[in-house]
Amino acid sequence: MLQHDTATPRPYTRLNTVVGTNGSFAGFPNRIALERFEGKTLMHKNGKTEAFHEWDTQMEPWQKRYDHPLWTRLEAEAQRNGGHGGMDYVMLWRLVWCLREGLALDQDVYDAAAWSVVFPLSCDSVAQRGNAQTFPDFTRGLWQSTPPLPIVT
């Protein structure tokens, strides 16, 4: 779902949500709801219902286990110097680091094209009474064989 709404009253949200077959994660504020984890059905703290019926907002255990190494390395500095909880700082730090090291950037021209086409496709969809639009593959299929970016530590 793509939504841009700056007029209606509501709590702050960026609508960051990832949903999979065993649970959901939503950001700002961060919360998680899992049905299964590591092969086990998770139960709510009441012991009677499955855990995915309510959001778990205790993120510290998840963050300790799964935070990205770059975030772990830069977190304190990012929170002190950057906006949006530090994410702006990390993104700029990574850009400058790649440029200084002569590495390819995390985003390429294909990413830029994909990000830029969302608005005109949305306009076309609205003009066609909500009809789905075909999202162009600017890579002509090469995305399937592009090697993953190395994890920065």
Copy the structure tokens of residue 10: 């509501």
Containing 52, the helix (H) or strand (E) segment is none
Copy the structure tokens of residue 135: 């999202």
Where among 19, 35, 59 does a domain terminate? 59
The answer to the question of residue 13 being in a domain is yes
The CA distances from residue 65 to 21, 97, 118, 133, in Å, are: 21, 25, 34, 39
The answer to the question of residue 78 being in a domain is no
**pLDDT for 41-64, tens place per residue?**
677 677 766 666 778 888 999 899
Copy the structure tokens of residue 34: 């899992």
Residue 86: CB atoms within 10 Å: 19
**Mean pLDDT, residues 13-35 taken together:** 83
The answer to the question of residue 8 being in a domain is yes
The CA distances from residue 59 to 63, 66, 140, in Å, are: 6, 10, 39
The answer to the question of residue 52 being in a domain is yes
* Domain coverage including residue 20: 1-59
Residue in 61, 43, 40 with CA at minimum distance from that of residue 52: 43
- The number of distinct structural domains making up the chain is 2
**pLDDT for 128-149, tens place per residue?**
999 999 999 999 999 999 887 7
The answer to the question of residue 119 being in a domain is yes
The answer to the question of residue 38 being in a domain is yes
Is the model's pLDDT at 35 over the cut of 90?
A: no
Residue 7: CB atoms within 10 Å: 5
pTM of the model: 0.61
CA angle at 7 for the pair 5 and 12, rounded to the nearest 5°? 65
The answer to the question of residue 151 being in a domain is no
The answer to the question of residue 66 being in a domain is no
Binning pLDDT at 50, 70 and 90, where does residue 16 land? confident
